[in-house]
Amino acid sequence: MGSTLAQKIWDQHRIGEVRGRDLLYIDLHLVHELGSQAFGGLDLRGLPVRRPEQTVATMDHNVPTGDRTLPIADPLAAKQLQVLRDNCERHGVPLFGLGSARQGIVHVIGPEAGLTQPGMAMACGDSHTATHGALGALAFGVGTSQVEHVLATQCLLLSPLRQLAVDIEGALAPGVTAKDVALAVVATVGFGGAAGHVIEYRGSTVRAMSMEGRLTLCNMSAEAGARAGLIAPDATTFSFLEGRTYAPSGDDWTAATATWARLRTDDDAEFDSVVRIDATTLEPTVTWGTTPAMSAPVSGRVPRAEETASHSQTERALAYMGLAGGERIVDLPVDRVFIGSCTNSRIEDLRAAAAVAAGQKVAAGVRAMVVPGSMPVKAQAEREGLDAVFREAGFEWREPGCSMCLGMNEDVAGPGERCASTSNRNFEGRQGAGARTHLVSPEMAAAAAVAGHFVDVREVR
Amino acid sequence: MAGVRTVRGRMMPLERDDVDTDQIMPKQFLTRVERTGYGAHVFHDWRQDPSFVFNDARFAGASVLVAGSNFGSGSSREHAVWGLLQYGFEAVVAPSFSDIFVGNCAQSGLLPVRVQHETYRALLATVEADPGAEVVVDLEDTRVDWPAGTATFDIDPMVREALLHGLDDVNLILAEEEHIVAYERRRPSWSVRVPVEGSR
Ligand code: SF4
């Protein structure tokens, strides 16, 4: 029997077995400012960072996205950033920090700089590390202790994975995006339904996706609960990577691509389970509840509690969201719009949103912000004049970071405010205490900003 | 981290599915750079509601949290596990957990006890009838006992091993140094390396 892509990468990085777990070598470790306790643990052990040159740090979770010439208002956030800077300096870890032209969300900067490469085993102290699987890397999100393990040893001890294939077939209708596919995957597999598994996304829909789309799709593997998600590398992957700062070049490129081209699941490999999704039936999708699996097509309605499998959970979600059940999605008003996050803040996302916003005005009473995923994305968007399009339409054009995705900085929605957000989590309080999050694609978010309520982006374009 | 064999204590019922780590430890407490000081902030936002179970004096001092499926979903923040431990919980009993949460438990000494749905229901009924009822979670035998019943539970054998013996992964991995070095020698010459110079 053959092997799956994930199994091949696992086996290639397996150094041995230690008390029942596999010891895996980590090619690349990405770090951000919330991991200071991991460096603290290293200090307690008196250990250095084993491979600082295979470690890259950035600042994203708590950074302000307003005027960066001002001092950081929150003293704890400022201290946390300073601690990261000190740790990076002490240990010789490269830092794409505030003030760097490469600063950005950890899952945006990896692929963008060509750091993330096919066949790698990667780790990052963040649940959305699966994003990097879009390039064919096996990328694990871990907690602080395991960040410390990787810093100290460049290895992780992991229990074996189960394998889930998500086969997505068919062409997406105009106005339907990778985000809508990702929401469909979460709704099909279930919130947390892929626990213990690595997902391989396959099928014609995935093959036809751009790299940005694939990054969006793999990103939300976290919401399906998977330990990782990935896509076999192909010509799209190679043309995305070629020429990027840290991608191999010259003869190395030839050698690397020859190796990468072999990274695919064998025809006779077996998965523990297979899920099929017909992409031709998908519509632009809007979440109505407090888990990312609670979603409806834009043409649909918010369900009533009694129509769902779990009445009490739906009731609770509807109460939090200020909904009765039965409302048409397009009748839901929005107060806030957030275009950003590691799910949807790349150049293609911003182009798509700008195409909808161009020549329009953000509706009265709506506050809309665009937060590019990284400094290079921001620079590229500005070269293309997208910042002007957004500003003229009344969107705020901000500095890169996680921003309203988790609201650790001052970018939060108020209690009861309804937010159309291109991020990945609509949990209670995620975007601010009492804030109500509806997850959508960048196009749908921009259209909602203009209309003041959700609209079917296919009707406004 | 010390090894844990059994946990004995009273229960706190949290009858909700999909409890995510944003609820367990809200983001406003993640700016701390220490590993301590999180106990007071567990479920901060939900505790604003006076009817929330954490505000019910009958369950004060409980050391076993009984919660719905997909517990610990969402963010990888280990602060959620630290907070639960520092609040006084030694075990969480639920029908299912998120993987990263379980991984974090294994590193910090909180027991993730995955039970059948019927056991979850029985424990909820027990604590409802008698908030003083005690449960015993035996990690060696993977068994949970309550006054009126007993059941086995599921736990990744590797996680069980780590918790039972208080294993320190770094020490385990460092013992493999020879093999790690040999592996590093075999890596392709074009593998990514990021020099510090010019990275800023
Ligand atoms: S953008 Fe949101 S989901 Fe992504 S890394 Fe930042 S906080 Fe996490």
Tell me, what CATH number does B44's domain have?
Answer: 3.20.19.10
Q: Which of A10, A12, A13, A15 would best serve as a mutation to test chain B binding (most B beta carbons within 10 A)?
A: A15
pLDDT at B32: 87
Partners of A368 in the β-ladder: A337
Q: pLDDT tens across B83-140, in order?
A: 999 999 999 999 999 999 999 999 999 999 999 999 999 999 999 999 999 999 999 9
Domain annotation covers residue A206: yes
The partner residue sitting opposite A23, judged by closest CB among B104, B156, B176, is: B176
A220: closest chain B residue by CA: B74
pLDDT at A354: 98
Q: How far is B22 from B41, CA to CA, in rounded Å?
A: 11
Ligand 1 and A430: CB distance under 6 A: no
**Domain carrying residue B17:** 6-186
Residue A125 CA, ligand 1 centroid: distance in Å: 11
SS3 string of chain B? CCCCCEEEEEEEEECCCCCEHHHHCCHHHCCCCCCCCCHHHCCCCHHHCCCCHHHCHHHCCCCEEEECCCECECCCCCHHHHHHHHHCCCEEEECCECHHHHHHHHHHCCEEEECCHHHHHHHHHHHHHCCCCEEEEECCCCEEEECCEEEECECCHHHHHHHHHCCCHHHHHHCCHHHHHHHHHHCCCCCCCCCCCCCC
Which residues of A are less than 8 Å from B79 in CB distance?
A: 144
> Cβ of B196 and A53 within 8 Å?
yes
Identify the H or E element spanning A295: strand A295-297
Residues A358 and A453 reside in one and the same domain? yes
Domain annotation covers residue A239: no
**Domain carrying residue A211:** 162-234+258-280
Q: Label residues B74-88 b or e (16+ Cβ within 10 Å = b).
A: bbbbbbbbbbbbbbe
Residues A343 and A444 reside in one and the same domain? yes
Tokens of A366: 């709506």
Mean pLDDT across chain A: 97
Q: pLDDT tens across B71-96, in order?
A: 999 999 999 999 999 999 999 999 99
Q: pLDDT tens across A278-287, in order?
A: 999 999 999 9
CATH of the domain at A317: 3.30.499.10
Domain annotation covers residue B56: yes
Domain annotation covers residue A118: yes
What pLDDT tens digit does each residue of chain A (461 aa) get?
899 999 999 999 999 999 989 999 999 999 999 988 999 999 999 999 999 999 999 999 999 999 998 889 999 999 999 999 999 999 999 999 999 999 999 999 999 999 999 999 999 999 999 999 999 999 999 999 999 999 999 999 999 999 999 999 999 999 999 999 999 999 999 999 999 999 999 999 999 999 999 999 999 999 999 999 999 999 999 999 999 999 999 999 999 999 999 999 999 999 999 999 999 999 999 999 999 999 999 999 999 999 998 899 999 999 999 999 999 999 999 999 999 999 999 999 999 999 999 999 999 999 999 999 999 999 999 999 999 999 999 999 999 999 999 998 889 999 999 999 999 999 999 999 999 999 999 999 999 999 999 999 999 86
The partner residue sitting opposite B30, judged by closest CB among A34, A52, A313, is: A34
Residues A310 and A371 reside in one and the same domain? yes
Residues A295 and A275 reside in one and the same domain? no
Output the CA torsion A276→A281→A283→A289 (10° steps).
-50
Ligand 1: which of A132, A147, A338, A342 to mutate, judged by most atoms within 8 Å of the beta carbon?
A342
CATH of the domain at A271: 3.40.1060.10
> Cβ of B107 and A143 within 8 Å?
yes
The partner residue sitting opposite A125, judged by closest CB among B35, B76, B184, is: B76
Residues A123 and A195 reside in one and the same domain? no
Residue B199 reports pLDDT greater than 90: no
Domain annotation covers residue A197: yes
Domain annotation covers residue B198: no
Residues A166 and A140 reside in one and the same domain? no
pLDDT at B197: 65
Confirm if B164 and B5 have CB atoms less than 8 A apart. Answer: yes
Ligand 1: which of A344, A402, A419, A439 to mutate, judged by most atoms within 8 Å of the beta carbon?
A402
DSSP character for A405? G
Q: pLDDT tens across B174-190, in order?
A: 999 999 999 999 999 99
Distances (CA, A) of A428 to A16, A317, A431, B27: 42, 9, 8, 12
> What ipTM is given for this predicted complex?
0.92
Residues A97 and A229 reside in one and the same domain? no
Residues A28 and A133 reside in one and the same domain? yes
Residue B73 CA, ligand 1 centroid: distance in Å: 15
Ligand 1 and A222: CB distance under 6 A: no
Ligand 1 and A342: CB distance under 6 A: yes
Question: Domain total for chain B?
Answer: 1
Residues A51 and A123 reside in one and the same domain? yes
> Cβ of B77 and A18 within 8 Å?
no
Decide: residue A112, CB within 10 A, 0-12 exposed, 13-18 middle, 19+ buried: buried
> Cβ of B22 and A196 within 8 Å?
no
Last residue of a domain, one of A127, A158, A189: A158
Rounded to 5 degrees, what are φ and ψ at A214?
-65, -35
Q: How far is A197 from B132, CA to CA, in rounded Å?
A: 38
Q: Which atom of ligand 1 is nearest to the CA of A106?
A: 5
B178 contacts chain A (CB < 8 A): no
A25: closest chain B residue by CA: B180
Share of chain A above pLDDT 90, in %: 96
B180 contacts chain A (CB < 8 A): yes
> Cβ of B180 and A144 within 8 Å?
no
Domain annotation covers residue B104: yes
Label residue B196 by pLDDT band (50, 70, 90). confident
Tokens of B149: 């019943």
Q: How far is A385 from A397, CA to CA, in rounded Å?
A: 12
Output the CA torsion A75→A81→A82→A87 (10° steps).
150
Confirm if A65 and A411 have CB atoms less than 8 A apart. Answer: yes
Domain annotation covers residue B108: yes
Determine the residue type at A292.
P
> Cβ of B98 and A256 within 8 Å?
no
The partner residue sitting opposite B18, judged by closest CB among A62, A80, A191, is: A191
Strands B6-14 and B134-138: antiparallel
Determine the residue type at A174.
P
Residues A120 and A217 reside in one and the same domain? no
> Cβ of B169 and A145 within 8 Å?
yes
Q: pLDDT tens across A418-440, in order?
A: 999 999 999 999 999 999 999 99
Last residue of a domain, one of A110, A136, A158: A158
Q: How far is A366 from A356, CA to CA, in rounded Å?
A: 16
Listed residue (B77, B33, B183, B100) closest to A51, CA to CA: B183
A39: closest chain B residue by CA: B33
SS3 string of A85-154? HHHHHHHCCCEECCCCCCCECHHHHHHHCCCCCCCCEEEECCHHHHHHHHHCCEEEECCHHHHHHHHHHC
Residues A13 and A52 reside in one and the same domain? yes
B43 contacts chain A (CB < 8 A): no
Residues A110 and A49 reside in one and the same domain? yes
A92: closest chain B residue by CA: B196
Listed residue (A410, A398, A330) closest to A68, CA to CA: A398
Residue B198 reports pLDDT greater than 70: no
B57 contacts chain A (CB < 8 A): no
Ligand 1 and A441: CB distance under 6 A: no
Residue B200 reports pLDDT greater than 50: no
Q: How far is B134 from B8, CA to CA, in rounded Å?
A: 7
Domain annotation covers residue A240: no
Last residue of a domain, one of A280, A313, A336: A280
Domain annotation covers residue A145: yes
The two most distant CA atoms of chain B are separated, in Å, by 66
Domain annotation covers residue B194: no
Confirm if A181 and A205 have CB atoms less than 8 A apart. Answer: yes
> Cβ of A20 and B158 within 8 Å?
yes
Question: Domain total for chain A?
Answer: 3
The partner residue sitting opposite A53, judged by closest CB among B16, B69, B193, is: B193
pLDDT at A405: 96
**Cα-Cα end-to-end distance for chain B:** 37
Domain annotation covers residue A430: yes
